[in-house]
Amino acid sequence: MINRALSLVALIGLLFMATACNMPALSSIKDCGEDMQCFIEAGKDCKPAKILFPLELEMMGVLITTTTYQEIVGMEDDLCVVKFRTESVTIDYSQEAIDQMLDMGLTQEQIDEQIAATQEQVNQEGLNEICRVDTVRLANLMEQWDSGSFSTEDWEGMDCETVVEEE
Protein backbone atom coordinates (compact mmCIF):
# COMPACT_ATOMS: atom_id res chain seq x y z
CA MET A 1 0.00 0.00 0.00
CA ILE A 2 2.83 2.38 0.86
CA ASN A 3 4.60 1.51 -2.44
CA ARG A 4 1.43 2.39 -4.39
CA ALA A 5 1.12 5.69 -2.56
CA LEU A 6 4.78 6.51 -3.26
CA SER A 7 4.33 5.56 -6.92
CA LEU A 8 1.28 7.80 -7.16
CA VAL A 9 3.17 10.69 -5.55
CA ALA A 10 6.09 10.15 -7.96
CA LEU A 11 3.72 10.09 -10.94
CA ILE A 12 2.00 13.28 -9.83
CA GLY A 13 5.41 14.89 -9.36
CA LEU A 14 6.49 13.90 -12.89
CA LEU A 15 3.25 15.26 -14.36
CA PHE A 16 3.72 18.49 -12.44
CA MET A 17 7.31 18.85 -13.68
CA ALA A 18 6.28 18.11 -17.26
CA THR A 19 3.59 20.78 -17.06
CA ALA A 20 5.92 23.27 -15.42
CA CYS A 21 8.56 22.72 -18.12
CA ASN A 22 5.99 23.11 -20.91
CA MET A 23 6.81 19.64 -22.23
CA PRO A 24 4.51 18.51 -25.05
CA ALA A 25 1.78 16.07 -24.18
CA LEU A 26 2.43 12.45 -25.10
CA SER A 27 -0.54 12.44 -27.46
CA SER A 28 0.32 15.68 -29.27
CA ILE A 29 -0.50 14.30 -32.73
CA LYS A 30 -3.39 16.18 -34.32
CA ASP A 31 -6.16 13.92 -35.60
CA CYS A 32 -7.42 15.43 -38.87
CA GLY A 33 -9.94 12.64 -39.51
CA GLU A 34 -10.52 12.92 -43.28
CA ASP A 35 -9.93 16.71 -43.41
CA MET A 36 -7.11 17.21 -45.92
CA GLN A 37 -6.92 20.96 -45.29
CA CYS A 38 -6.17 20.25 -41.62
CA PHE A 39 -3.41 17.85 -42.69
CA ILE A 40 -2.00 20.32 -45.23
CA GLU A 41 -1.76 23.04 -42.57
CA ALA A 42 0.13 20.66 -40.27
CA GLY A 43 2.40 19.66 -43.17
CA LYS A 44 3.47 23.24 -43.87
CA ASP A 45 5.40 23.25 -40.59
CA CYS A 46 5.82 19.45 -40.32
CA LYS A 47 3.73 19.34 -37.16
CA PRO A 48 2.59 15.86 -36.06
CA ALA A 49 -0.81 15.02 -37.54
CA LYS A 50 -2.68 12.05 -38.98
CA ILE A 51 -5.40 11.53 -41.56
CA LEU A 52 -7.35 8.73 -43.23
CA PHE A 53 -7.27 9.64 -46.91
CA PRO A 54 -10.00 7.99 -49.02
CA LEU A 55 -9.57 8.00 -52.78
CA GLU A 56 -11.60 6.77 -55.74
CA LEU A 57 -10.09 6.54 -59.22
CA GLU A 58 -12.09 5.42 -62.26
CA MET A 59 -10.17 4.31 -65.33
CA MET A 60 -11.67 2.57 -68.36
CA GLY A 61 -14.59 1.10 -66.45
CA VAL A 62 -12.53 0.04 -63.43
CA LEU A 63 -13.16 1.75 -60.09
CA ILE A 64 -10.24 1.59 -57.66
CA THR A 65 -11.06 2.65 -54.09
CA THR A 66 -8.29 3.06 -51.52
CA THR A 67 -7.98 4.32 -47.99
CA THR A 68 -4.54 5.39 -46.80
CA TYR A 69 -3.45 6.29 -43.28
CA GLN A 70 -1.00 9.18 -43.44
CA GLU A 71 0.97 10.52 -40.51
CA ILE A 72 3.33 13.45 -40.23
CA VAL A 73 5.88 12.33 -37.64
CA GLY A 74 8.05 15.45 -37.41
CA MET A 75 11.37 16.87 -38.54
CA GLU A 76 14.54 14.80 -38.94
CA ASP A 77 17.72 16.34 -40.37
CA ASP A 78 15.84 19.26 -41.99
CA LEU A 79 13.35 16.91 -43.68
CA CYS A 80 9.79 16.10 -42.71
CA VAL A 81 9.16 12.43 -41.90
CA VAL A 82 5.81 11.15 -43.17
CA LYS A 83 4.34 7.65 -42.90
CA PHE A 84 1.88 6.21 -45.40
CA ARG A 85 0.02 2.94 -44.78
CA THR A 86 -2.50 1.39 -47.16
CA GLU A 87 -5.56 0.47 -45.12
CA SER A 88 -7.73 -0.93 -47.92
CA VAL A 89 -7.89 -1.37 -51.68
CA THR A 90 -10.88 -2.55 -53.68
CA ILE A 91 -11.41 -2.88 -57.41
CA ASP A 92 -14.80 -2.97 -59.08
CA TYR A 93 -15.37 -3.51 -62.79
CA SER A 94 -18.34 -1.77 -64.37
CA GLN A 95 -20.84 -3.87 -66.26
CA GLU A 96 -19.76 -2.02 -69.40
CA ALA A 97 -16.14 -3.15 -68.90
CA ILE A 98 -17.29 -6.74 -68.32
CA ASP A 99 -19.50 -6.60 -71.42
CA GLN A 100 -16.52 -5.37 -73.47
CA MET A 101 -14.44 -8.32 -72.26
CA LEU A 102 -17.28 -10.70 -73.14
CA ASP A 103 -17.51 -9.10 -76.60
CA MET A 104 -13.76 -9.72 -77.00
CA GLY A 105 -14.47 -13.44 -76.56
CA LEU A 106 -13.54 -13.93 -72.92
CA THR A 107 -15.71 -16.26 -70.85
CA GLN A 108 -17.20 -15.18 -67.53
CA GLU A 109 -14.79 -17.58 -65.81
CA GLN A 110 -11.80 -15.94 -67.52
CA ILE A 111 -13.09 -12.51 -66.57
CA ASP A 112 -13.53 -13.59 -62.94
CA GLU A 113 -9.96 -14.95 -62.94
CA GLN A 114 -8.67 -11.68 -64.41
CA ILE A 115 -10.53 -9.64 -61.81
CA ALA A 116 -9.15 -11.83 -58.99
CA ALA A 117 -5.60 -11.55 -60.39
CA THR A 118 -5.90 -7.77 -60.68
CA GLN A 119 -7.20 -7.52 -57.11
CA GLU A 120 -4.26 -9.63 -55.91
CA GLN A 121 -1.76 -7.43 -57.80
CA VAL A 122 -3.03 -4.17 -56.33
CA ASN A 123 -3.69 -5.52 -52.86
CA GLN A 124 -1.27 -3.39 -50.89
CA GLU A 125 -3.04 -3.54 -47.56
CA GLY A 126 -0.45 -3.25 -44.82
CA LEU A 127 2.11 -1.65 -47.13
CA ASN A 128 4.03 1.04 -45.27
CA GLU A 129 6.11 3.83 -46.74
CA ILE A 130 8.24 6.00 -44.50
CA CYS A 131 9.36 9.08 -46.41
CA ARG A 132 11.54 12.08 -45.77
CA VAL A 133 10.67 15.18 -47.76
CA ASP A 134 11.17 18.93 -47.77
CA THR A 135 8.22 20.69 -46.11
CA VAL A 136 7.55 22.96 -49.11
CA ARG A 137 7.41 19.93 -51.43
CA LEU A 138 5.21 18.08 -48.95
CA ALA A 139 2.70 20.94 -48.74
CA ASN A 140 2.65 21.25 -52.55
CA LEU A 141 2.08 17.50 -52.96
CA MET A 142 -0.76 17.48 -50.44
CA GLU A 143 -2.44 20.43 -52.19
CA GLN A 144 -2.07 18.59 -55.50
CA TRP A 145 -3.53 15.37 -54.06
CA ASP A 146 -6.39 17.27 -52.44
CA SER A 147 -7.29 18.69 -55.85
CA GLY A 148 -7.45 15.14 -57.26
CA SER A 149 -4.20 15.23 -59.23
CA PHE A 150 -1.99 12.16 -58.81
CA SER A 151 1.10 10.98 -60.66
CA THR A 152 3.80 8.35 -60.28
CA GLU A 153 6.20 11.30 -60.43
CA ASP A 154 4.86 12.52 -57.07
CA TRP A 155 7.32 10.24 -55.29
CA GLU A 156 10.40 11.47 -57.17
CA GLY A 157 12.85 13.32 -54.97
CA MET A 158 11.49 11.79 -51.77
CA ASP A 159 13.64 9.48 -49.68
CA CYS A 160 11.23 6.60 -49.00
CA GLU A 161 11.62 3.14 -47.60
CA THR A 162 8.98 0.42 -47.90
CA VAL A 163 8.04 -1.82 -45.00
CA VAL A 164 5.43 -4.58 -45.28
CA GLU A 165 3.65 -5.45 -42.04
CA GLU A 166 3.62 -9.11 -41.16
CA GLU A 167 0.33 -10.61 -40.08
Between 119 and 11, the higher pLDDT residue: 119
Of 42, 33, 30, the C-alpha closest to 142 is 42
Of 70, 37, 67, 12, the C-alpha closest to 147 is 37
pLDDT in tens, 116-156: 887 776 666 667 889 998 888 888 888 888 777 777 777 77
In whole angstroms, give the CA distance from residue 133 to residue 27. 23
Question: Phi and psi (nearest 5°) for 35?
Answer: -85, 95
Of 132, 157, 30, 156, the C-alpha closest to 81 is 132
pLDDT in tens, 67-113: 889 999 999 989 999 998 888 888 888 899 899 999 999 999 999 99
Global pTM reads: 0.67
Say whether 120 sits in a helix, a strand or coil.
helix
